[in-house]
Structure 1
């Protein structure tokens, strides 16, 4: 008797999917349990609010009573996190089953509601792991987006009020490639930078933004007998188009822009399918002259972008100064 062999793989997929759902369901119940504990602690604390030190006494007392029986998950620090969790999310309707308790522990440490909303939306939308969320928070993704986009647009995307429809809303400038391990003063070639990006490709895709997937490295193309090599090719699911990246470790020139324009034209005319959108080209360069970019490209073009990269993040003071400038400019408008 002939049996369709796909039935086994289908059943295995069902089992794996059910196991994942069960794990998520258990973790969400644990998260809700911590929320209810935090709520009860907060209510008790409010009854003794005339005593300034009552909160500290209460968390210490609860920990001493529960930790011997339930383990280190009910240490004084954990009990304080439960209380903070409830105070950050006083309504259970705002909790997401897609987020784990470990992710919520990262999020409740954020200092503003805008940042909390942003990182929750991005985590759910991109299905970030705990490690991915942690890296984006610690590398100041939110602040860096504020430097590159207007605050209104960033928050609208974060709250799912709108989907990115333009490459300018996704491509960041500058890009901070702090994960590459290269030092600014070190001597290296473009292939070293490219190799580092490939090695840390997952982190680089996170740095690029939403919806990027890797297609090719040093993609060979033939044009009338001449051979060319495109540094990196990606595809963006949200914009539904190819994204070509050329890497330059020197200051950007108009010849670099012309070369990238040729690659973009090639992909538009040879590789792009009818239903797909025009190809986007990004020049990732060590330094750029915005005026050169402006006068080399046609006005109002939306396909070629020059993005300067930095090998490490600016100092906290520099970052705060820039964010404050951006916010002041936003308030004035």
Structure 2
């Protein structure tokens, strides 16, 4: 009977795998269909290029002919997107079978090629769903990583052309935690904030970035008769190190940095294996003073990172301002 159950389990796995492959195949064919429609419309549009409004006329005409028979998937908006799709990806062989038409619709709305390439690489590498890709775009993942890294480095890490050598290459500041469902106007105890993270652990791991795995919550340390509790412990397989997170729902202080440094030292001395890299500590705080962080840590520090959390997604204007400030800061540092 046990053997028979094992056979059923294996057969169910075969069926599930076949269904998933069939769905991916159908979706890829759907993507190619829209690409071919876009190509045909673009070619026809080019022939009528002397008429400035020909493109608008053509997409409207095609939609009017197709939508009544084939449904809303061939509305004027969908036809316009298919034309834009072809113009963004004019070579069919460059299309990824792992990406769906819904994901490509999100990507072709982005404003530059590097950004598109970044999100494609991250989606393929991390097997993001449409919802996850949409959330990462809306949370301005590309722009946030650019604040602390250069464009080429961000793309190289995303494409697996290089492994991250510095925690700041994958850890974001700020972190956007809108999925916790907490209101920014309210005050929270750290244990309540921690519980919200555990409840939404999958989304939190997505926000943390590539290679993170959950290890422990309220990890107890015994040090010469005294007990301490680390809020959250993770492991990052890309950095090959433990990552300790301490949550502060108020403004960060130099005492908080000292406490986290002690936890990092403990892990380096008693938990880390010889083949692993030094432990990373992240202070996830409501507010920080960058000058206090800088002065509290050695100039060579690469293991303690302070990251503010936000309970709402940024507006495009807010991100533009942040990137501008960072560019100006780099320019000032380069001139000193």
Instruction: Give runs of aligned pairs for residues 123-142 of structure 1, distance below 5 A.
Output: 123-142=123-142
Q: Distance in 2 between matches of 1:270 and 1:197?
A: 27
Provide Cα deviations, 1:79-119, integer angstroms capped at 9, x if missing partner: 11111110111111221111111111111111211211111
User: For the Cα contact (< 8 Å) 1:172–1:208, is it kept in 2?
Assistant: yes
Report SS of the residue matched to 1:99: coil
Going from structure 1 to structure 2, the CA distance change for 1:192 and 1:3 (only over 3 Å counts) comes to closer
Going from structure 1 to structure 2, the CA distance change for 1:47 and 1:166 (only over 3 Å counts) comes to same
1:97 matched to 2:100? The reply is no
Going from structure 1 to structure 2, the CA distance change for 1:184 and 1:103 (only over 3 Å counts) comes to same
1:37 matched to 2:37? The reply is yes
Instruction: Give runs of aligned pairs for residues 224-235 of structure 1, distance below 5 A.
Output: 224-235=224-235
Match of 2:193 in 1: 193
User: For the Cα contact (< 8 Å) 2:138–2:313, is it kept in 1?
Assistant: no
Count of residue correspondences: 333
Report SS of the residue matched to 1:220: strand
Match of 1:156 in 2: 156
Shift of 1:4: 8.8
| Structure 1, gaps ≥5 residues long | none
Match of 1:46 in 2: 46
Going from structure 1 to structure 2, the CA distance change for 1:313 and 1:320 (only over 3 Å counts) comes to same
Instruction: Give runs of aligned pairs for residues 181-220 of structure 1, distance below 5 A.
Output: 181-220=181-220
Match of 2:301 in 1: 301
User: For the Cα contact (< 8 Å) 1:148–1:174, is it kept in 2?
Assistant: no
Shift of 1:45: 0.8
Provide Cα deviations, 1:219-269, integer angstroms capped at 9, x if missing partner: 223233322211111111211221110011222223222221222222233
After superposition, the CA RMSD in angstroms is 2.5
Match of 1:317 in 2: 317
User: For the Cα contact (< 8 Å) 1:151–1:330, is it kept in 2?
Assistant: no
Match of 2:112 in 1: 112
Q: Distance in 2 between matches of 1:321 and 1:293?
A: 22
Match of 2:277 in 1: 277
Report SS of the residue matched to 1:14: helix
Instruction: Give runs of aligned pairs for residues 77-92 of structure 1, distance below 5 A.
Output: 77-92=77-92
Q: Distance in 2 between matches of 1:251 and 1:2?
A: 58
Match of 1:144 in 2: 144
| Structure 2, gaps ≥5 residues long | none
1:265 matched to 2:265? The reply is yes
Provide Cα deviations, 1:254-299, integer angstroms capped at 9, x if missing partner: 3222221222222233333343322211111222233333343334
Q: Distance in 1 between matches of 2:49 and 2:298?
A: 65
User: For the Cα contact (< 8 Å) 2:140–2:319, is it kept in 1?
Assistant: no
1:72 matched to 2:72? The reply is yes
The TM-score normalised by the length of structure 2 is 0.89
Moved more, 6-15 or 46-55: 6-15
Match of 2:180 in 1: 180
Report SS of the residue matched to 1:80: helix
Q: Distance in 2 between matches of 1:46 and 1:69?
A: 27
Q: Distance in 2 between matches of 1:259 and 1:330?
A: 30
Shift of 1:6: 4.9
Q: Distance in 1 between matches of 2:283 and 2:170?
A: 15
User: For the Cα contact (< 8 Å) 2:205–2:212, is it kept in 1?
Assistant: yes
Match of 1:56 in 2: 56
Moved more, 318-327 or 234-243: 318-327
